[in-house]
C-alpha cells in the first residue's frame, strides 16, 4: 500500500508540474526562454548527486560537477527573474514566473528512482523492490494519473484565465490538421530517438552518438527557429533601407503588414515565431544579456549534471533495463529525460594494486643435428630471460618453462642391449653446464 501511495504522490507532483509548466506558464515567455528553461529540470538530480557523493565519501573530483551544476541552475533562475521583473517592472509576470520555476522543480522529481538506492534507506529500498516487481502496473498508474491531472489543469485554467470553452473545442479544420501533424511528428521522433539512443549505448558509442547529439539538440532547435526570422528580417529590410529596425519589423508582423493572402505555411510559422520574440526588447543589451545568461546557465548546468554518463561503465551488450532506470520518457522534455534517466553510479577510487593470476610462458624448441655453437646460442637465449626476473624468484606475474625436443637423440652400441644417448644429447648437457 505504501508503494502505491508513494507512486501516486510523486506522479501527481510530476504531472502537475509538467501541465502547469507547458500549458499555463510557457505561453507567456519567448521561444528562447522556453527551450532553454527545459534544461533546468535537472536541479533535483544535481542535489541528489551531491548528497550521494557526500555519503559515499569517494574522490572529491566527482562531486565538483554536480555542485557547479546546482549553482548554475540557481543562477539561471535569478537571471530569469531579473530579466522580467527588474527591467520590465511587469508585476503581472510574477505569477507566471513562479509557476514556471515551481513546475520545473516538480518535474525534476521524476528521476528520484535513479538515486534512491544510494542513500541506504530501508523505506526507499522496499519501494524500489516493489516497483521492480510490478513495473507494468506502475506504468499504467503513472499514465492514468498524468492524464487525469492534465485534464484537471486544463479544466481549471480555462475558466480562471477568463477564456471560454469554445476556444478549446471549436478548433478550425486547418489548425486541427496542424495539431495532428505535430503530434504525429512528436510521437514518431520520440520513439526513433529513444531507439537510436539504445542502439548507440549497446554499440558503446555513447559519447559521439548519444551525449553530443543530446547536448546540441537545444541549440539546434533554437538555430532552426531563429535563423529563418533573421533571414526574413534581412529580406524585409533590404527594400526599406538601413533605417528599418527590428522594432518596426515586429510591428509589421504583429499587424500583418507585408503578408499576402496566399502566404505559405512556412511564412506563417516564421510569423508565429516572431510573435514570441517581439515582446523582448532586442535592442536592450542588458535584457538580452540577462536572458542569454539564464539560458546559458541552464544549459551548462544540465550538461554538468549528466557528465557522469561520460564515465559510465557498460557491459559489452547492456540490457536496456540496466541502462535506463524508467521505461517511460517524457515527450515534452525528450533529450533531458533520456539523459537524466540514464543509470547513475558512484564513481569509485581506482585501486592501484589488484591481484592478477600468474601467466606461464612455454618455450619450446626442436633440435635436429644442431652443432655445438648453435646449441650454445639457443640455450644462452633461454637463460637470458632470467635477467628480467626479480632476484627473490617471485613468480606472481609470469613464469617460464622451457622444453627441448630431439628428433634423434639415441644410438645403438654394440654389445649393449640398451640404447645410448648420442653426441647431440651429450653436447646439449655440456652446453647447459657451461652456460648455467
| 368 in the same domain as 224 | no
Of 272, 305, 340, the residue that ends a domain is 340
The total of structural domains in the chain comes to 2
213 domain residue, yes or no: yes
pLDDT string in tens for the chain (436-residue length): 788 888 889 999 999 999 999 989 888 888 888 888 999 999 999 999 888 888 877 667 778 889 999 999 999 999 998 887 776 666 677 888 999 999 999 999 988 888 887 777 788 888 888 888 888 888 888 889 999 999 999 889 888 887 777 777 777 776 777 778 878 888 888 888 888 888 887 777 778 888 888 888 888 888 887 777 777 777 776 666 666 666 677 766 666 555 555 555 566 666 767 767 766 666 677 777 888 899 899 999 999 999 888 887 776 666 777 778 877 667 778 888 888 888 887 766 665 555 567 778 888 877 777 788 888 888 888 777 665 555 555 656 677 788 888 777 788 888 888 888 888 888 888 888 887 7
Q: For 256, which DSSP code? A: T
Query: CA angle, 379 as apex, 377 and 381 as ends, to 5°?
Result: 70
Measured between alpha carbons, how far apart are the two ends of the chain, in Å?
79
The answer to whether residues 321 and 196 belong to one domain is yes
With beta carbons less than 8 A apart as the criterion, state whether 107 and 17 touch.
yes
- DSSP letter for each residue of 159-185: HHTT--THHHH---HHHHHHHHHHHHH
Name every residue whose Cβ is closer than 8 Å to that of residue 374 and which is 6 or more positions away in sequence: none
| Judgement on whether residues 46 and 183 belong to the same structural domain of the protein | yes
What's the chain's length in residues? 436
d(CA 313, CA 300): 23
> What does the angle CA 207 – CA 209 – CA 215 come to, to the nearest 5 degrees?
70
Are both 328 and 370 inside the same structural domain? no
Clarify whether residues 313 and 365 are in a common domain.
Answer: no
* Residue 42 cell numbers, joined: 535537472
pLDDT of residue 355: 59
Query: Is the alpha carbon torsion for 193, 197, 198, 199 positive or negative?
Result: positive
Percentage of the chain beyond pLDDT 70 is 80
Of the residues 276, 311, 340, which one is the last residue of a structural domain? 340
The answer to whether position 347 is within a domain reads no
The predicted model scores a pTM of 0.71
279 and 311 in one domain?
Answer: yes
> Quick one: 363 and 333 in the same domain?
no
What domain range is 147 assigned to? 2-340
pLDDT value, residue 169: 74
Q: Is residue 352 part of a domain?
A: no
- Asked if 31 contacts 166 with a C-beta cutoff of 8 angstroms, the reply is no
**Assigned domain for 409 exists:** yes
- Tell me if 346 is assigned to some domain: no
What is the C-alpha separation between 123 and 365, in angstroms, rounded?
A: 66
Tell how strand 359-367 and strand 398-406 pair up. Answer: parallel
Domain assignment present for 418: yes
So what's the pLDDT on residue 395? 59
Q: How far is CA 423 from CA 306, 329, 367, in A?
A: 74, 81, 13
pLDDT at 350: 60
Q: What is the pLDDT of residues 128-181, one digit of tens each?
A: 888 888 888 888 888 899 999 999 998 898 888 877 777 777 777 767 777 788
Tell me: do 79 and 127 sit in the same domain: yes
Q: Distance (Å, rounded) from C-alpha 65 to C-alpha 46? A: 9
| Residue 208 pLDDT | 83
Q: Phi-psi bin for 383: left (phi > 0), alpha (psi -120 to 50), beta?
A: alpha
CA 356 to centroid of chain Cα atoms: 34
Amino acid at each position: 500500500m505504501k508503494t502505491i501511495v508513494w507512486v501516486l504522490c510523486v506522479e501527481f507532483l510530476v504531472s502537475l508540474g509538467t501541465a502547469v509548466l507547458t500549458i499555463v506558464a510557457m505561453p507567456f515567455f519567448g521561444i528562447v526562454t522556453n527551450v532553454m528553461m527545459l534544461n533546468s529540470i535537472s536541479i533535483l538530480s544535481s542535489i541528489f548527486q551531491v548528497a550521494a557523493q557526500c555519503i559515499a565519501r569517494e574522490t572529491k573530483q566527482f562531486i565538483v560537477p554536480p555542485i557547479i551544476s546546482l549553482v548554475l541552475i540557481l543562477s539561471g533562475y535569478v537571471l530569469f527573474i531579473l530579466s522580467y521583473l527588474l527591467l520590465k517592472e511587469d508585476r503581472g509576470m510574477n505569477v507566471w514566473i513562479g509557476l514556471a520555476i515551481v513546475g520545473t522543480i516538480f518535474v525534476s522529481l521524476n528521476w528520484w528512482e535513479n538515486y534512491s538506492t544510494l542513500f541506504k534507506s530501508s523505506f526507499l529500498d522496499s519501494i524500489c523492490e516493489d516497483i521492480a516487481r510490478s513495473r507494468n502496473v506502475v506504468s499504467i498508474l503513472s499514465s492514468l494519473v498524468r492524464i487525469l491531472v492534465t485534464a484537471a489543469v486544463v479544466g481549471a485554467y480555462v475558466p480562471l484565465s477568463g477564456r471560454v470553452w469554445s476556444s478549446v473545442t471549436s478548433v478550425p479544420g486547418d489548425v486541427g490538421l496542424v495539431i495532428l501533424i505535430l503530434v504525429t511528428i512528436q510521437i514518431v521522433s520520440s520513439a526513433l530517438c529513444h531507439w537510436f539512443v539504445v542502439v548507440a549505448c549497446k554499440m558503446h558509442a555513447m559519447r559521439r552518438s548519444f551525449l553530443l547529439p543530446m547536448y546540441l539538440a537545444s541549440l539546434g532547435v533554437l538555430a532552426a527557429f531563429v535563423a529563418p526570422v533573421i533571414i526574413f528580417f534581412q529580406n524585409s529590410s533590404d527594400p526599406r533601407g538601413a533605417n528599418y529596425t527590428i522594432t518596426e519589423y515586429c510591428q509589421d508582423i504583429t499587424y500583418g503588414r507585408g503578408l499576402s493572402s496566399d502566404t505559405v505555411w512556412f511564412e506563417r510559422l516564421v510569423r508565429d515565431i516572431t510573435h514570441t520574440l517581439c515582446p523582448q526588447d532586442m535592442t536592450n543589451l542588458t535584457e538580452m544579456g540577462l536572458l542569454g545568461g539564464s539560458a546559458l546557465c541552464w544549459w551548462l548546468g544540465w550538461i554538468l549534471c549528466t557528465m557522469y554518463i561520460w564515465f559510465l561503465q557498460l557491459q559489452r551488450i547492456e540490457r536496456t533495463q540496466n541502462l535506463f532506470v524508467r521505461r517511460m520518457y517524457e515527450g515534452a522534455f525528450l533529450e533531458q529525460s533520456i539523459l537524466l534517466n540514464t543509470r547513475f553510479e558512484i564513481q569509485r577510487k581506482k585501486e592501484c594494486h589488484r591481484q592478477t593470476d600468474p601467466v606461464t610462458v612455454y618455450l619450446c624448441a626442436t633440435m635436429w643435428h644442431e652443432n655445438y655453437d648453435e646449441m650454445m646460442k639457443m640455450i644462452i637465449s633461454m637463460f637470458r630471460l632470467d635477467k628480467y626476473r626479480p632476484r627473490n624468484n617471485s613468480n606472481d606475474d609470469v613464469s617460464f618453462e622451457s622444453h627441448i625436443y630431439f628428433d634423434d637423440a639415441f644410438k645403438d652400441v654394440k654389445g649393449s642391449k640398451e640404447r645410448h644417448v648420442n653426441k647431440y644429447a651429450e653436447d646439449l648437457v655440456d652446453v647447459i653446464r657451461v652456460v648455467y
